[in-house]
Amino acid sequence: MIKQIIELSVEHNNVACPMCQHDILDWQQEQYLQPCEHTAFIALDLGFEYIADFFEQHLPHTVDEIHDQELNIFEQINASQGINLTVFKQDLGAHNLCRYIGVIRPE
């Protein structure tokens, strides 16, 4: 369940984990997605770019079901149970698409 949403206004800023300060999204790297141990997922409205094994079990549907049925990614993330998340929401500046980066929060 989402406990906090942090909206980011600029699409090309790095995103640091609030727990360990590691840049989860690092535009200086060729592989700009750099999840840390606290990263639950990185997703676009179109689908998941990265998902941790520990997080997938908290979703109401499997990732394959979400993609195959074209379910709303944000709704599926928000419906997750048994896990507290901080979610960074980043407008991509095209076609009303967003990127979501979920970080686990301590209980």
Question: How far from 87 is each of 21, 30, 42, CA to CA, in Å?
Answer: 15, 24, 10
Residue-wise pLDDT for 14-51, tens only, equals 999 999 999 999 989 999 999 999 999 999 999 999 99
Number of Cβ within 10 Å of residue 105's Cβ equals 16
Q: How confident is the model at residue 68 (pLDDT cuts 50, 70, 90)?
A: very high
pLDDT band at 11 (very low <50, low <70, confident <90, very high): low
User: Does the predicted model carry a pTM greater than 0.85?
Assistant: yes
Domain housing 12: 2-104
Beta bridge partners of 25: 15, 33
What pLDDT does 75 receive? 93
When divided into structural domains, the chain yields a total of 1
